[in-house]
């Protein structure tokens, strides 16, 4: 069945997989060392009871994990169900081929696949293997964590009464940035240049043999069973990044150091720096990146900063954070090639920064 | 497809045996997480971590973890072949270890809410005027620390609360520059989970303050009197009684 080209590309996949595993191991090792250093510093610098520090760290870590895990589970379940029940042909039928229309579809698709940023990567990866156009996939990846019913509700609960403009702004800015980045990817890169081969397998070549890889639609119950098993594995694949992200976020909040005789955490230092129309936006973007709080709940965090920080910076926090943070960056690294990954981070960063600064200078939030 | 799997280093060593052990561990981690979430719900420890508003999410987690773990066990018992699909990364020991970490920390370290030692000098005596109206309509004696701060925030005149009675529960928090008869009665507000926890507090004056340790949960009954506290005129709770109490069922207040 396999011809020479097939075998060569399999070797290529093997090499890429190995490279990726090395990269992941490297990140894991560095993350582990960083966390140890951070904890050691925290304990040494304040002279507090190390057990108390560990207890606070554990509470913060578990808090984020317990809040995020259900959403990650829902995301991986959706991913498993998509793999089993949605055929490539369905996607091809639903999504327009025109890049502009495909981008718009991608932006709105979150309402059909309600996932947060923990869950969006497995779903996007799955959709890419099903033949989703590049522009729609990238727009979906960036927009879906905000453009979905759950986040609409949580953002409305947080800001609906005191600042409805934040609710509207969050959705408008996300649509603009996700659409723009999706179009840039559609017109300047081919899928082979953007995606890691792991995410391309069934699409690649498009040979008649590839079709035999897709199982024929079996009965409902066996399909569901298969979806559950895929979902279970996917939870481990994505869950490790949630754990690393939560560990780092908890460490950042727990880490303290002495500044002119006062004990301050890194987060507090960011607050003090966070004034002015430009710096405040950058500070909130960094905070969103580091905290890695799930998009379904980050509006409550934004609410806590509302009033202290500028309106533009709150909007940047609520739009950039769901697109790019520590967790999603690590997960993106498993799907996108390095160059595409850099664009995928830098473009949303610059766009939300520009819009945030513009809001600060031109609108009174 | 087969060929690419062979590049996975783990699979090179006695593939079948490794895979089976790993799959059993995987299934038990999933079931363990279901049990951990259920344990947190049953003991009430869940409120150490998240706002009660989101407890239903943990019920959902128990169900989904249970189903996923059950499906894994079922597959192992039936000796169903492993699921191999196009874009799937094989579960490895490092993934298992990381995902099991919450289970390990949750089991080994006794569950405790954030308290006085987590404040670290970062405590607010003012809060944004969100839902201030509902705090005002509450019976003054049922207002908690957050309600009072919201009520204070509605006016520019701290003295307007002089003589008003209050009955508050919170933990004791002190900073080095506090007078010997002063402490703060503090709570953490948690909008969603402890990631957004922030400490709020009200200054209390009580002659016996020195006898109460930091972090102790207390019930303070007294009346407000506007006075200077750290260079700001604000209502200070002059205590009539201070009783040491059990940590409340819900350690945080929810804005």
Residue of B nearest to A28 (CA): B94
Q: Is the pLDDT of residue A154 over 70?
A: yes
Contact indicator for A134, A189 with CB cutoff of 8 Å? yes
Chain A residues with CB under 8 Å of B65 CB are: 73
Q: Is the Cα torsion angle B31, B32, B33, B34 positive or negative in sign?
A: positive
Backbone dihedral angles phi then psi of residue B165, each to the nearest 5 degrees: -85, 150
The residue-averaged pLDDT of B143-157 equals 87
Res A10: pLDDT: 54
Res A351: pLDDT: 97
The residue-averaged pLDDT of B25-32 equals 94
**What confidence tier does B126 reach under pLDDT thresholds 50, 70, 90?**
confident
CA distance B60 to chain A (A): 7
The residue-averaged pLDDT of A149-170 equals 81
Q: Work out the mean pLDDT of chain B and round it to a whole number.
A: 84
Backbone dihedral angles phi then psi of residue A231, each to the nearest 5 degrees: -60, -40
Q: Is the pLDDT of residue A347 over 90?
A: yes
Please indicate if any CB of chain A lies within 8 Å of the CB of B149: no
Distances (CA, A) of A298 to A116, A122, B35, B158: 11, 21, 27, 34
Burial of B249 (0-12, 13-18, 19+ CB in 10 A): exposed
More confident residue, A109 or B240: B240
**What confidence tier does A9 reach under pLDDT thresholds 50, 70, 90?**
low
User: What single string gives the DSSP state of each residue in B182-237?
Assistant: EEEEEEEE-SSBGGG-EEEEEEEE-TTGGGS-TT-EEEEEEEEEEEEETTEEEEEE
**What confidence tier does B17 reach under pLDDT thresholds 50, 70, 90?**
very low
- Which residues on neighbouring strands pair with residue B23, listed in sequence order? none
Residues composing chain A = 365
Comparing CA positions, the residue from A196, A41, A43, A35 lying closest to residue A128 is: A196
Res B7: pLDDT: 41
How far is B105 from A337, CA to CA, in rounded Å? 34
Residues A292-318: tens digit of each pLDDT: 776 776 776 677 677 667 889 999 999
Chain B residues with CB under 8 Å of A81 CB are: none
Q: Which two tokens stand for residue B150?
A: 């919201």
- Which residues on neighbouring strands pair with residue B236, listed in sequence order? B225
Number of A–B residue contacts, CB under 8 Å: 206
Residues composing chain B = 255
Res A28: pLDDT: 66
How far is A203 from A323, CA to CA, in rounded Å? 26
Res A37: pLDDT: 64
How far is B117 from B55, CA to CA, in rounded Å? 26
Tell me how far the alpha carbon of residue B183 is from its chain's centroid: 23
DSSP state of B111: P
Q: Which of B50, B105, B117 sits opposite A52 (nearest CB)?
A: B117
Q: Is the pLDDT of residue B61 over 80?
A: yes
Among A59, A68, A137, A260, the strongest candidate for a mutation testing the B interface, having the largest count of B CBs within 10 A, is A59
Residues B104-121: tens digit of each pLDDT: 999 988 999 999 888 877
Res A207: pLDDT: 42
Res A342: pLDDT: 92
How far is B113 from B130, CA to CA, in rounded Å? 24
The residue-averaged pLDDT of B237-245 equals 95
Q: Which two tokens stand for residue A318?
A: 């609520």
**What confidence tier does A266 reach under pLDDT thresholds 50, 70, 90?**
low
Comparing CA positions, the residue from B215, B220, B209 lying closest to residue B148 is: B220
Contact indicator for B138, B179 with CB cutoff of 8 Å? no
Which B residues, 14 through 73, put their C-beta within 8 Å of a C-beta on chain A?
A: 26, 29-30, 33, 37, 40, 46, 48-50, 54, 57-58, 60-61, 64-65, 67-69, 71-72
Burial of B76 (0-12, 13-18, 19+ CB in 10 A): middle
Q: Work out the mean pLDDT of chain A and round it to a whole number.
A: 77
Backbone dihedral angles phi then psi of residue A215, each to the nearest 5 degrees: -65, 145
More confident residue, A359 or A134: A359
CA distance A77 to chain B (A): 9
Distances (CA, A) of A240 to A27, A230, A247, B96: 12, 16, 10, 8
Q: Which two tokens stand for residue A37?
A: 């250093």
Question: Radius of gyration (Cα) for chain A, nearest Å?
Answer: 21
DSSP state of B248: P
CA distance A239 to chain B (A): 6
A131 SS3 class? coil
Q: Which of B58, B64, B88 sits opposite A66 (nearest CB)?
A: B58
| Region label for A276, one of left (φ > 0), alpha (ψ between -120 and 50) or beta (otherwise) | left
B167 SS3 class? strand
Contact indicator for A357, A285 with CB cutoff of 8 Å? no
- Which residues on neighbouring strands pair with residue B168, listed in sequence order? B220
Res A218: pLDDT: 65
Identify which of A70-74, A116-120, B78-82 has the greatest average pLDDT: A70-74
CB-side exposure of B196: number of CA atoms within 13 Å?
25
Residues A54-80: tens digit of each pLDDT: 888 899 889 888 988 887 788 778 777
Q: Is the pLDDT of residue B9 over 70?
A: no
Res B84: pLDDT: 56
DSSP state of B81: P
Bridge pairing between strands A256-259 and A262-265: antiparallel
The residue-averaged pLDDT of A325-346 equals 85
**What confidence tier does B222 reach under pLDDT thresholds 50, 70, 90?**
very high
**What confidence tier does A346 reach under pLDDT thresholds 50, 70, 90?**
very high
Residues A210-255: tens digit of each pLDDT: 444 445 556 788 888 888 888 888 888 778 777 876 777 777 677 7
The ipTM value here is: 0.88
The residue-averaged pLDDT of B79-100 equals 72
Contact indicator for A353, A289 with CB cutoff of 8 Å? no
Backbone dihedral angles phi then psi of residue A245, each to the nearest 5 degrees: -60, -45
Res B83: pLDDT: 64
* Lowest model confidence (mean pLDDT) among A201-205, A280-284, A358-362: A201-205
How far is A169 from A319, CA to CA, in rounded Å? 9
List Cβ neighbours of A230 (8 Å cut-off, separation of 6 or more).
Answer: A79, A80, A83, A84, B83, B85, B88
Res A40: pLDDT: 65
């Amino acid at each position: 069945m396999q011809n020479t080209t097939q075998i060569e590309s399999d070797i290529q996949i093997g090499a890429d997989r190995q490279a990726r595993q090395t990269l992941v191991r490297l990140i894991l090792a560095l993350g582990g060392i960083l966390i140890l250093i951070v904890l050691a510093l925290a304990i040494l610098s304040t002279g507090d009871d190390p057990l108390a520090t560990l207890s606070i760290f554990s509470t913060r870590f578990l808090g984020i994990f317990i809040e995020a895990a259900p959403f990650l589970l829902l995301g991986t379940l959706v991913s498993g169900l998509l793999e089993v029940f949605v055929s490539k042909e369905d996607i091809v039928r639903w999504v327009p081929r025109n890049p502009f229309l495909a981008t718009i579809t991608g932006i709105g698709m979150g309402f059909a696949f309600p996932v947060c940023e923990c869950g969006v990567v497995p779903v996007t990866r799955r959709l890419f293997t099903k033949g989703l156009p590049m522009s729609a996939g990238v727009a979906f990846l960036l927009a879906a964590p905000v453009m979905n019913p759950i986040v609409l509700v949580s953002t409305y609960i947080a800001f609906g009464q005191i600042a409805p403009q934040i609710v509207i702004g969050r959705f408008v800015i996300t649509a603009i940035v996700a659409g723009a980045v999706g179009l840039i990817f559609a017109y300047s890169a081919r899928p082979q240049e953007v995606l890691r081969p792991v995410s391309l397998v069934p699409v690649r070549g498009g040979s008649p043999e590839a079709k035999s890889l897709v199982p024929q639609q079996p009965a409902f119950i066996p399909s569901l069973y298969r979806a559950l098993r895929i979902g279970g594995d996917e939870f481990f694949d994505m869950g490790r990044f949630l754990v690393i992200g939560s560990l780092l976020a908890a460490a950042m909040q727990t880490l303290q150091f002495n500044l002119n005789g006062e004990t301050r955490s890194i987060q507090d230092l960011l607050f003090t720096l966070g004034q002015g129309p430009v710096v405040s936006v950058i500070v909130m973007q960094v905070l969103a990146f580091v905290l890695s709080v799930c998009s379904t709940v980050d509006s409550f965090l934004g609410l806590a900063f509302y009033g202290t920080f500028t309106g533009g910076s709150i909007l940047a926090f609520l739009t950039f954070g769901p697109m790019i943070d520590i967790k999603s960056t690590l997960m993106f690294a498993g799907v996108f090639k390095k160059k595409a990954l850099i664009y995928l981070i830098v473009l949303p960063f610059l766009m939300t920064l520009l819009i945030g600064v513009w809001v600060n200078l031109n609108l009174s939030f | 497809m087969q060929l690419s799997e062979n590049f996975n280093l783990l699979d090179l060593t006695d593939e079948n045996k490794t895979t089976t052990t790993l799959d059993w561990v995987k299934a038990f981690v999933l079931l363990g997480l279901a049990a951990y979430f259920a344990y947190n719900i049953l003991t009430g420890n869940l409120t150490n971590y998240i706002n009660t508003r989101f407890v239903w999410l943990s019920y959902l987690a128990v169900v989904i973890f249970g189903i996923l773990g059950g499906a894994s066990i079922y597959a192992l018992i039936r000796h169903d072949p492993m699921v191999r699909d196009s874009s799937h990364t094989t579960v490895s020991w490092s993934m298992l270890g990381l995902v099991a970490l919450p289970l390990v920390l949750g089991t080994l370290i006794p569950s405790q809410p954030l308290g006085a030692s987590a404040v670290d000098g970062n405590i607010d005596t003012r809060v944004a005027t969100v839902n201030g109206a509902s705090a005002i309509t509450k019976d003054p004696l049922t207002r908690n620390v957050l309600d009072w701060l919201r009520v204070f925030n509605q006016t520019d005149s701290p003295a307007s609360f002089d003589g008003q009675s209050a009955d508050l529960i919170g933990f004791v928090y002190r900073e080095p520059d506090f007078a010997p008869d002063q402490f703060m009665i503090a709570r953490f507000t948690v909008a969603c989970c402890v990631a957004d926890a922030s400490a709020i507090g009200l200054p209390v004056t009580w002659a016996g303050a020195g006898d109460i340790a930091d972090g102790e949960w207390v019930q303070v009954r007294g009346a407000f009197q506007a006075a200077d506290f750290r260079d700001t005129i604000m209502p200070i709770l002059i205590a009539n009684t201070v009783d040491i109490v059990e940590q409340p069922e819900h350690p945080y207040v929810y804005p």
